[in-house]
């Protein structure tokens, strides 16, 4: 029997300073700070409906029972909500994604941000934005940033365990004059072969390049904040591109290598370089998948999209902009 339900909508975000690697897996504490833009495309809508204690939890993804790792992560999240609130009810989680799940298109960011907001409301947890961001982080670190609209920075904090939990959350950063476009080139929307969780674990444990990238990331972040405040597209783009390529270099040096970039990814990267050589400010970033997101001005977005369609025939291209933070839609 239904006792209580809440629905929330969240959007994915794309990091321009990447998070890769955890300091504490149990508490989901990132090893590095990150900075991202929440988008206005691919929302996730999640309803959490409480059910009588003793019933099994149920997880539905796009109307079908979720399986494997996805189901497990949601069940762990529900256990955490019960532990935090002292409540015993079971829950039915109904999630609708408009983004392909697990394809490096940030479905876990929008998914766990929506689950955190809907779950907190359904279980009666009174959480302000920072607390909600910490909660979302327990599902997926990138989800901590999708609590907020526009630009957000996620702090790695210090220490480990419960102490680190308090210091690791996202918060919005002001960049009122910087409102670029992000052209998303979807080369393969299928689920990735190596989950980001497994990929980052292998990278931090075995890649001799990981520490150097993490150290460089601190300087990247400081420079990025200045470039954002100045609304300097070329500077923001240069820093974002080198930070992303550096992250993929750490993975390529892992043993065995973790490689998300495909031949088509490199073709698109060549097309981005060609655009720049021809005078268009366009910069690429890639996550745990082959797809490429290209930062450019709003006025250049149509040109960039056309060039990418020509470079990688058959790919799907769409243009995103700054989007909203998580929104609680209905509480019953
Ligand atoms: O939080 P996860 O498990 O979705 O990891 C995301 C990691 C990257 O997308 C590659 C980088 C980032 O900061 O979003």
- How far does the centroid of ligand 1 lie from the alpha carbon of residue 146, in Å? 12
**Closest ligand 1 atom to Cα of 140:** 1
pLDDT, position 1: 40
Residue 103 has a pLDDT of 56
Q: Are 221 and 154 in contact (CB under 8 A)?
A: no
Question: Which residue CA neighbors atom 6 of ligand 1 most closely?
Answer: 142
At residue 154, φ and ψ (nearest 5 deg) are: -110, 120
Which of 16, 142, 148, 293 should be mutated for ligand 1, with most atoms under 8 A from CB? 142
CA-wise closest residue to 105 among 209, 184, 163, 48: 184
Residue 108 alpha carbon, nearest atom of ligand 1: 4
Using a 6 Å CB cutoff, which residues line ligand 1?
15, 18-20, 34, 108-109, 140-142, 196-197, 287-288
For CATH 3.30.70.890, the residue range(s) in the chain are 181-320
Q: Alpha-carbon distance 90 to 95, whole Å?
A: 16
CATH of 5-175, one of 3.40.50.410, 3.30.230.10, 3.30.300.30, 3.40.1360.10: 3.30.230.10
Contact yes or no for 325/38 (Cβ under 8 A): yes
Instruction: Cite the residue boundaries of each domain of the chain with CATH code 3.30.230.10.
Output: 5-175
- Residue to substitute in 18, 102, 191 for testing ligand 1 pocket (most ligand atoms within 8 angstroms of CB): 18
CA-142 nearest atom, ligand 1: 1
Helix, coil or strand: residue 295: strand
- pLDDT for 106 equals 67
* pLDDT for residue 2: 43
- Cα–Cα distance between 276 and 74 in angstroms, integer? 42
Predicted pLDDT of residue 100 = 65
pLDDT at 176: 86
- φ, ψ dihedrals at 49, nearest 5°: -115, 125
* Nearest atom, ligand 1, residue 287 CA: 10
> Tokens at residue 51, please?
């059910």
CATH code matching the domain that covers 181-320, chosen among 3.40.50.620, 3.40.50.720, 3.30.70.890, 3.40.50.300: 3.30.70.890
Write down the pLDDT at residue 101: 62
pLDDT tens digits in sequence order for the chain, 332 residues long: 445 999 999 999 999 999 999 999 999 999 999 999 999 999 999 999 999 999 999 999 999 999 998 999 999 999 999 999 999 999 999 999 987 665 556 689 999 999 999 999 999 999 999 999 999 999 999 999 999 999 999 999 999 899 999 999 999 999 989 999 999 999 987 777 899 999 999 999 999 999 999 999 999 999 999 999 999 999 999 999 999 999 999 999 999 999 999 999 999 999 999 999 999 999 999 999 999 999 999 999 999 999 999 999 999 999 999 999 999 997 87
């Amino acid at each position: 029997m239904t006792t209580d339900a809440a629905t929330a909508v969240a959007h994915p975000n794309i990091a321009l300073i990447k998070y890769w690697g955890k300091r504490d897996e149990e508490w989901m504490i990132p090893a590095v700070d990150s900075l991202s833009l929440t988008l206005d495309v691919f929302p996730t809508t999640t309803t959490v409906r409480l059910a009588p204690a003793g019933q099994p939890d149920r997880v539905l993804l796009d109307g079908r029972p979720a399986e494997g790792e996805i189901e497990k992560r949601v069940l762990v999240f529900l256990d955490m909500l019960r532990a935090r609130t002292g409540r015993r009810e079971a829950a039915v989680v109904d999630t609708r994604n408009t983004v392909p799940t697990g394809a490096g298109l940030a479905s876990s960011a929008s998914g766990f941000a929506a689950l955190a907001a809907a779950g907190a409301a359904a279980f009666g947890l009174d959480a302000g934005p920072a607390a909600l961001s910490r909660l979302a982080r327990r599902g997926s670190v990138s989800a901590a940033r999708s609590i907020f609209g526009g630009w957000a920075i996620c702090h790695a904090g210090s220490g480990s365990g419960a102490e680190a939990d308090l210091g690791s959350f996202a918060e919005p950063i002001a960049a009122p004059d910087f409102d670029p476009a992000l052209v998303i080139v979807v080369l393969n929307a299928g689920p990735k072969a190596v989950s980001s969780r497994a990929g980052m674990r292998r990278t931090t444990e075995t890649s001799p390049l990981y520490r150097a990238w993490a150290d460089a990331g601190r300087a990247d972040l400081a420079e990025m904040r200045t470039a954002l405040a100045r609304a300097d597209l070329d500077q923001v783009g240069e820093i974002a591109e080198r930070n992303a390529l550096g992250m993929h270099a750490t993975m390529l040096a892992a043993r065995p290598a973790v490689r998300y970039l495909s031949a088509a990814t490199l073709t698109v990267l060549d097309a981005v370089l060609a655009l720049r050589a021809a005078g268009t400010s366009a910069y690429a970033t890639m996550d745990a998948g082959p797809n490429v997101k290209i930062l450019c001005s709003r006025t250049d977005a149509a040109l960039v999209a056309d060039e990418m369609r020509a470079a990688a025939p058959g790919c799907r291209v769409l243009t995103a902009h700054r989007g909203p933070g998580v929104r609680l839609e209905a509480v019953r």
